[in-house]
Amino acid sequence: MPNSGRKERERTRHRQEILAAAENVFVRKGFFNTTMSEIALAAEFGMGTIYQYFSSKEELYTTLILEKAEAIMDVLTLATRKSSDPVDKIKDMITEQMKIFEESKGFIRLMAAEFDSPTSPEETRSQLRSGVQSTYQRFLEANEKIFLEGIRLGVFRNFPPRKMAVALQGIINGFVNEWVRSGFQESLSGNTDFIIKIFLDSVEIPPDQKKK
């Protein structure tokens, strides 16, 4: 079946084009202020065509967030694999996160919205909760494990690992917020070193004490 392959590829490409167009519009105008015909226009498809790929505005939105969140999380998880030292893993993760966020301005805002606000209809929310949340949770858990490992190896202080993960992610989000608030003026990744320092200073056990 040589033909069906091409058709399928074309379908996949169309789907991606629609998602890309939708992301653009959603980021600019938010879920409720975006109309399906705007998306259709941006995607250069007829409105009916959108509905052949996504059964509703909500499904389109949910898919968009979920797929992108998954992709980001994959990159971050990968970043923590480069080194085997827990301290380096955390450093890599911080560095990579700042880079990724810096590259996906608009999307970050969309995702943040879904975490924090009761904006979308109930069904969407629960889908997103179980989707994005579980992605986010998986990620926090991954960091938790790094901290746990670090504690075992005596490189991290004996704080509750979950709380460490939450605090670190909080600091990162704090700078992301500040960056969003500033209208993306200053560099986001310029804060990487400060974050690493302020966080590790209280969490890492200094090498000299370690050796002891």
Partner DNA sequence: TATGAATGAGCTTTCATTCAT
Partner DNA sequence: AATGAATGAAAGCTCATTCAT
Maximum Cα interatomic distance, the chain, rounded to a whole number of Å: 69
Out of DNA, its own copies, none, which partner does residue 30 contact, by CB within 5 to 8 A per kind?
its own copies
Q: How far is the CB of 116 from DNA (least distance, A)?
A: 21
- The reply on whether position 20 binds DNA by CB under 7 A is no
Which one-letter amino acid corresponds to residue 25?
V
Out of its own copies, DNA, none, which partner does residue 45 contact, by CB within 5 to 8 A per kind?
DNA
Q: How far is the CB of 64 from DNA (least distance, A)?
A: 14
- In the three-class reduction of DSSP (H, G, I as helix; E, B as strand; rest coil), residue 156 is classed as strand
Tokens of 76: 């971050």
- The reply on whether position 37 binds DNA by CB under 7 A is yes
- In the three-class reduction of DSSP (H, G, I as helix; E, B as strand; rest coil), residue 204 is classed as strand
The window from 32-40, 170-178, 184-192, 197-205 that contacts DNA (CB under 7 A) reads 32-40
- In the three-class reduction of DSSP (H, G, I as helix; E, B as strand; rest coil), residue 205 is classed as coil
- The reply on whether position 151 binds its own copies by CB under 8 A is no
CA angle 125–127–133, rounded 5-degree value: 85
- The reply on whether position 178 binds its own copies by CB under 8 A is yes
- The reply on whether position 119 binds DNA by CB under 7 A is no
Torsion, Cα of 50, 56, 59, 64 (10° steps): 30
* Single residue of 24, 27, 38, 148 touching its own copies by CB under 8 A: 27
* Distance (Å, whole) CA 51 – CA 53: 5
Q: Are 186 and 196 in contact (CB under 8 A)?
A: no
Q: Are 168 and 98 in contact (CB under 8 A)?
A: no
Q: Are 80 and 92 in contact (CB under 8 A)?
A: yes
- The reply on whether position 52 binds its own copies by CB under 8 A is no
- The reply on whether position 164 binds its own copies by CB under 8 A is yes
Q: Are 73 and 111 in contact (CB under 8 A)?
A: no
C-beta of 34 vs 80, nearer to DNA = 34
Q: How far is the CB of 101 from DNA (least distance, A)?
A: 28
Site residues, its own copies (CB under 8 A): 27-33, 109-110, 112-122, 133, 159-160, 163-164, 166-175, 177-178, 180-181, 191, 194-195, 197-203
Site residues, DNA (CB under 7 A): 7, 10-11, 14, 33-37, 45-49, 51-53, 55-58
